[in-house]
Structures are given as structure tokens and as C-alpha cells.
Amino acid sequence: LPVKILILNNRYLGMVRQWQELFYDTNYVATDMKGQPDFVKLADAYGAEGYRITTEEELEEILPRALASPKTAIIDVWVD
């Protein structure tokens, strides 16, 4: 199936980090995801297409191509 998986990747456990900011005086514990998988390589390992987008220019170029692909795709979009 040509399923598209779009990851909005801020490299943190976003909701947990937000709660730590709001309710725990920015006492961050276990929210940094430096050890996360390489989603492009993970897609390749499963026979899907993998894309990483880190800039707005890449977004305009890569996203339409990934969505138009007839294959399953994982699109890793880095956000702040």
C-alpha cells in the first residue's frame, strides 16, 4: 500500500517536555531524543522510501515528490 507516514520531528518527546516546562519549572528529565532511529534508514530496511526534510526549501521540493510516490514512504520533517 502507498501509505505515507509524516513525522514532525523536534528531537524531543514534545508533549512530555512541554509539561515539564509548564508544570515542573523546566526540570527536563528523559525528553531528549538524541538516540532516536534514523527514520530514512528504517524506511529502507523495510523496503519503503525514506525522506528527511530539514529546511523550508527541502519541504517544497521533497514533500510533493514523496506524496506522489506509488510506494510506502516515511517522511521525517525536522521542526523546532
Strand partners, 5: 74
pLDDT of residue 73 exceeding 90, the answer is yes
Interatomic CA distance for residues 2 and 41, integer angstroms: 18
Q: How many structural domains does the chain have?
A: 1
Higher-confidence residue of 34 and 47: namely 47
Host domain of residue 64: 4-78
Question: What secondary structure letter does DSSP report for 37?
Answer: -
Report the CATH number at residue 8: 3.40.50.970
Tell me what pLDDT residue 13 has: 76
pTM above 0.85, yes or no: no
pLDDT in tens, 49-68: 999 999 999 999 999 999 99
pLDDT of residue 12 exceeding 80, the answer is no
pLDDT of residue 28 exceeding 80, the answer is no
